[in-house]
């Protein structure tokens, strides 16, 4: 069982904002459900083979929900084949064309990403909502600072939290007026300050589950930093029921970063959490190379576990007390191994590589945990 000292650390407790629970296919979102991690394909949706392959790659790293864009009839038609070949629920990304939303619902989408106020007449809105009801689809209201209604921009002068929340409330009212409540809301901006302020304001005026993220965050490194600041602030405040890290990178990286954010806040644990020192002249082995190899070799592990890899005895024993498995570099090529905070055995250089030894220990522990 994973080492967990949360009970002894009351300052680590995060109280989540109470929200309604909805369902995206067979995945619960909101309420007491775990915070889910999402991503979005970037293939041409009607290229079924390519889209399914990318969804499978996302499933492999733990994605709970995957969104695909449906800009045309061929894309919405392709959903019928796509959903047959994947395990995660699929969200159909719809912007303005109400027929694409109806087709997506009919062809197996678990959720429609659509702003009901943007799809035309009352009759069209009614048809989309009825299709969602008939096919047990949830809906995501997707407010974005970059595509606010013209009258709101004129009213407020620029994208701001008040404008974004007013936009969200308009769409909420439309769904509620049609007796539809199976929806979640996003209120995204590329500016993390704006996104955080909008979500905090929205969280105070409704109890619907919130899909949080910083949109168009940038490339892998800068986007990860920006998303971690924005999403991390919200989650720390208890706001957020499902997250998507938006990166100009392989969508698989979005899911990995999403889980790392949740893991860092103690909100959800998947895979091995490697705690490692940055290395210095005291290191007794090449820490950076060792950690890099370990992270690659342990990617297949989904069982929650903590592993400390510390280059010397200054902090190593203390970190090992708090982890499932620990390694501390020692002098003369002798390193100390810990299990559950207790000294277990020594590893002599030359007997076996550090990486091979730790990977075997982690895999053995997984087998014990799984029985």
The pLDDT tens digits along the chain (371 residues) read: 345 444 456 666 789 999 999 999 999 999 999 999 999 999 999 999 999 999 999 999 999 999 999 999 999 999 999 999 999 999 999 988 999 999 999 999 999 999 877 887 889 989 999 999 999 999 999 999 998 999 999 999 999 999 999 999 999 999 999 999 999 999 999 999 999 999 999 999 999 999 999 999 999 999 999 999 999 999 999 999 999 999 999 999 999 999 999 999 999 989 999 999 999 999 999 999 999 999 999 999 999 999 999 999 999 999 998 999 999 998 888 999 999 999 999 998 877 899 999 999 999 999 998 88
d(CA 322, CA 263): 15
pLDDT at 332: 82
Within the chain, where are the H helices? 48-60, 73-82, 98-106, 122-134, 150-156, 161-177, 192-203, 220-236, 251-264, 287-297, 316-320, 354-370
* 18 secondary structure, DSSP code: P
d(CA 27, CA 72): 27
pLDDT at 203: 98
Structure tokens at 236: 């720390």
Q: Which SS3 state, helix, strand or coil, does residue 23 take?
A: strand
Are the C-beta atoms of residues 287 and 309 closer than 8 Å to each other? yes
Helix and strand tally (H, E) in the chain?
Answer: 12, 15
Residue 30's alpha-carbon distances to 33, 104, 206, 211, 244, in angstroms, are: 6, 23, 13, 9, 15
Beta-carbon contacts of residue 136 (< 8 Å; ≥ 6 apart)? 23
Structure tokens at 322: 């708090």
* 210 secondary structure, DSSP code: B
Are the C-beta atoms of residues 159 and 145 closer than 8 Å to each other? yes
Q: What would you report as the CA-atom Rg of the chain, rounded to the nearest whole angstrom? A: 23
Which domains are assigned to the chain? Answer: 15-264 (3.20.20.20), 272-370 (3.30.413.10)
Instruction: List the strands of the sheet with 138-144, edge to edge.
Output: 183-188, 138-144, 111-113, 90-93, 65-69, 36-40, 242-244, 211-212
Structure tokens at 306: 């903590």
- Cα dihedral value 292, 271, 239, 198, nearest 10: 40
pLDDT at 129: 95
d(CA 198, CA 38): 20
CA nearest neighbour of 138 among 84, 92, 69? 92
Structure tokens at 53: 């392959």
pLDDT at 11: 64
Cβ-count burial of 280 within 10 angstroms (0-12 exposed, 13-18 middle, 19+ buried)? exposed
pLDDT at 9: 63
Are the C-beta atoms of residues 237 and 267 closer than 8 Å to each other? no
pLDDT at 6: 44
């Amino acid at each position: 069982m994973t080492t967990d000292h949360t009970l002894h650390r009351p300052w680590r407790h995060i109280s989540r904002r109470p929200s309604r629970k909805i369902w995206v296919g067979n995945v619960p979102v909101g309420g007491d459900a775990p915070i889910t991690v999402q991503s979005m394909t970037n293939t041409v949706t009607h290229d079924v083979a390519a889209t399914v392959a990318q969804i499978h790659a996302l499933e492999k790293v733990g994605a709970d929900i995957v969104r695909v864009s449906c800009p045309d009839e061929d894309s919405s038609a392709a959903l019928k084949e796509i959903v047959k070949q994947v395990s995660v629920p699929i969200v159909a990304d719809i912007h303005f064309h109400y027929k694409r939303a109806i087709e997506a619902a009919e062809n197996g989408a678990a959720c429609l990403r659509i702003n009901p106020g943007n799809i035309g007449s009352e009759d069209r809105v009614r048809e989309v909502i009825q299709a969602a009801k008939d096919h047990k689809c949830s809906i995501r209201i997707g407010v974005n600072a970059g595509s606010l209604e013209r009258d709101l921009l004129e009213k407020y002068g620029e994208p701001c939290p008040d404008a974004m929340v007013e936009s969200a409330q308009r769409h909420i009212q439309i769904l509620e007026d049609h007796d539809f409540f199976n929806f979640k809301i996003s209120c995204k901006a590329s500016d993390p300050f704006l996104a955080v302020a909008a979500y905090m304001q929205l969280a105070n005026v409704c109890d619907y589950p919130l899909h949080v993220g910083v949109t168009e965050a940038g490339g892998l490194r800068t986007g990860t930093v920006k998303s971690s600041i924005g999403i991390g602030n919200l989650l720390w405040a208890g706001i957020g029921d499902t997250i998507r890290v938006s990166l100009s990178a392989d969508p698989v990286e979005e899911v990995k970063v999403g889980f790392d954010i949740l893991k860092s806040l103690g909100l959800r644990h998947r895979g091995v959490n490697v705690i490692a020192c940055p290395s210095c002249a005291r290191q007794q082995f090449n820490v950076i190379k060792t950690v890099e190899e370990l992270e690659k070799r342990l990617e297949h592990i989904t069982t929650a576990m903590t592993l400390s890899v510390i280059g010397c005895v200054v902090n190593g024993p203390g970190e090992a007390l708090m982890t499932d498995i620990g390694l501390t570099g020692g002098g003369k090529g002798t390193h100390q191994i810990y299990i559950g905070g207790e000294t277990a055995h020594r590893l002599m250089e030359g007997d076996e590589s550090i990486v091979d030894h730790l990977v075997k220990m982690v895999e053995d522990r997984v087998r014990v945990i799984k029985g």
